[in-house]
C-alpha cells in the first residue's frame, strides 16, 4: 500500500492484488501469467486492468519491465540491482545476484544512473539436468516434465 502511494499510483484493491502477486513470486511472470494468477483471487478483474496497472507500476518505477523476451515482457517487483538470466530452452527467467554495483546511483559523466539492466542468456540448470542451487517452489513444480526426469529414469534402469 505504502509502496503504491509513494509511486503516485492510486492504490485500488485490484492494483494491490497485482503488486502483492508480483512481490510473492520470483518467477518474473508475463502479463498473461499475472492475469491468470490474480484472476483466481480477484475474478472480476479485467485483462486490460492488468496491462494498464503493469504499465503504470513500471512507469512509476515500482516494478521492472523486462524486455529480454521477444514474445512478451516479464515483470519483477524486485527493483534492486540483480542480473536476469533467460533460459533459451524453457524461457524461464531467473535472478542472478549481482555483486557489481559500481554504476548504480553514481553519476557517470554527469548522468545520474537510476538502473542498470543486464541480461544473461543460456540453458538453465533445470534444462541441463542439474539441481538448481535455489529455485522458488513455482519453478520446482514445473520440473516434473523436464528432461532431467527422463534422464534419471534411464540412469536407474
Binding site for Zn ion (CB under 5 A): 76, 78, 87, 89-90, 95, 124, 127
Identity of the residue, 47 or 61, whose beta carbon is nearer to Zn ion in the bound complex: 61
Identity of the residue, 42 or 90, whose beta carbon is nearer to Zn ion in the bound complex: 90
Identity of the residue, 87 or 116, whose beta carbon is nearer to Zn ion in the bound complex: 87
Query: How near is the Cβ of 141 to Zn ion at its closest, in Å?
Result: 14
Within 8 A by CB and 6+ apart from 30, the residues are: 69, 72, 73, 74, 75
Query: How near is the Cβ of 60 to Zn ion at its closest, in Å?
Result: 17
Query: How near is the Cβ of 56 to Zn ion at its closest, in Å?
Result: 19
Query: How near is the Cβ of 59 to Zn ion at its closest, in Å?
Result: 18
> Alpha-carbon distance 43 to 35, whole Å?
10
DSSP labels for 58-126? HHHTSSEEE---SS--EEES--SSEEEEEETTT--EEEEE----SSTT-EETTEE------EEEE--HH
Identity of the residue, 46 or 91, whose beta carbon is nearer to Zn ion in the bound complex: 91
Q: CA triplet 150, 155, 157: central angle to 5 degrees?
A: 100
Query: How near is the Cβ of 80 to Zn ion at its closest, in Å?
Result: 9
> Alpha-carbon distance 17 to 24, whole Å?
10
> Alpha-carbon distance 87 to 119, whole Å?
11
Identity of the residue, 41 or 115, whose beta carbon is nearer to Zn ion in the bound complex: 115
Amino acid at each position: 500500500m505504502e509502496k503504491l502511494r509513494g509511486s503516485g499510483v492510486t492504490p485500488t484493491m485490484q492494483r494491490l492484488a497485482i503488486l502483492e502477486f508480483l512481490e510473492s513470486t520470483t518467477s518474473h511472470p508475463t502479463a498473461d501469467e499475472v492475469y491468470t494468477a490474480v484472476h483466481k483471487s480477484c475474478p472480476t478483474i479485467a485483462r486490460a486492468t492488468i496491462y494498464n496497472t503493469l504499465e503504470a507500476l513500471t512507469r512509476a518505477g515500482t516494478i521492472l519491465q523486462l524486455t529480454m523476451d521477444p514474445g512478451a515482457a516479464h515483470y519483477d517487483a524486485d527493483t534492486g540491482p540483480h542480473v536476469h538470466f533467460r533460459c533459451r530452452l524453457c524461457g524461464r527467467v531467473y535472478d542472478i545476484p549481482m555483486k557489481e554495483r559500481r554504476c548504480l546511483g553514481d553519476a557517470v559523466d554527469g548522468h545520474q544512473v537510476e538502473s542498470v539492466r543486464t541480461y544473461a542468456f543460456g540453458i538453465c540448470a533445470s534444462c541441463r539436468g542439474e539441481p538448481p542451487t535455489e529455485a522458488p517452489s513455482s519453478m520446482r513444480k514445473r520440473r516434473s516434465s523436464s528432461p532431467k526426469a527422463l534422464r534419471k529414469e534411464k540412469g536407474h534402469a
